[in-house]
Amino acid sequence: MDLVQDPDLAYVHFAPPCGTCSRAREKPLSAALKQQGLTGPKPLRDSTYPQGLPTLTGKDLEKVTAANNIYKLCCSAIRTLHRRGIAVSVENPTRSWMWNMPCFEEISTLLSGTVDFQACAHGGRRPKWSRFRSALVDLSPVARLCPGDHEYAPWGATRGPSGWAWSTAEEAEYPAVLCQRVAALAAAHVSKLGWQLQAPGPLEVPSPPARTLPTACSIRPGSVADL
Ligand SMILES: [Zn+2]
């Protein structure tokens, strides 16, 4: 929580983990994958129990409790930042149960901006729906849908050298183009505040694999390229 007290903050983005909140857990496995002996992840939350099903035990309970603690920490940080007049945004899948957590519902009016978008509208390989909720910064240009001019990478699981890998894990990464667009909006916000950027040149967009934003990253004067 030291970071949210930093005097040089202008904008903070939160990308809390979404694995235990994923609605992909509700999708049945394909017959082909079942035949190969794969058992899919089970739902850990639902609309009645967004904080975790009462039947959870063992590792599942541990994972849900750890995720809930992160969500509560994010909400607490967002409240503090909002009181300080600092712009914030927070991201999770559009249908994530995280948005139904009581701690997020309590700050719903504070997070006045909501944009939904598909990853492949920002350079992603799949039409995954994500949501940004924000305060004190305009992220509306991010609300873009699939242009419908390309093939999607398949969903599901593939077996690699280190075992099965779920496509949803690949989609947890932000596409590079999305990072560049959000960074540009953040830079515009910082400029409006009258801050001088030391590195205002075009951001370098790496080719795949896409960059991942850390759980919480901040923008300080001259460090927009770090986003
Ligand atoms: Zn698309």
Q: Which residues of 135-155 are buried (b: 16+ CB within 10 A; e: fewer)?
A: bbbebeebebebeeeeeeeeb
Indicate if the pLDDT at residue 206 is higher than 70: no
Look at residue 224 in the predicted model and tell me its pLDDT: 36
pLDDT tens digit sequence for 36-94: 777 677 899 999 999 999 999 999 999 999 999 999 999 999 999 999 999 999 999 99
CA of 41 to the centre of ligand 1 (A): 26
pLDDT tens digit sequence for 124-167: 988 999 999 999 999 999 999 998 888 887 776 666 777 766 66
CA of 128 to the centre of ligand 1 (A): 9
Indicate if the pLDDT at residue 177 is higher than 90: yes
CA of 212 to the centre of ligand 1 (A): 20
CA of 149 to the centre of ligand 1 (A): 7
Mean pLDDT computed over 172-191: 91
How far apart, in whole angstroms, are the C-alpha atoms of residue 177 and residue 18?
21
Which neighbouring-strand residues pair with 114? Answer: 133
CA of 173 to the centre of ligand 1 (A): 16
pLDDT tens digit sequence for 182-205: 999 999 999 998 888 776 556 555
**What is the pTM assigned to this prediction?**
0.79
Give the pair of three-digit tokens for residue 180.
């560049």
CA of 178 to the centre of ligand 1 (A): 13
CA of 124 to the centre of ligand 1 (A): 8
How far apart, in whole angstroms, are the C-alpha atoms of residue 128 and residue 93?
8
Domain ranges of the chain: 3-226
Query: Nearest-CA neighbor of 145 among 124, 166, 174, 171?
Result: 124
DSSP one-letter code for 91: E
Look at residue 3 in the predicted model and tell me its pLDDT: 85
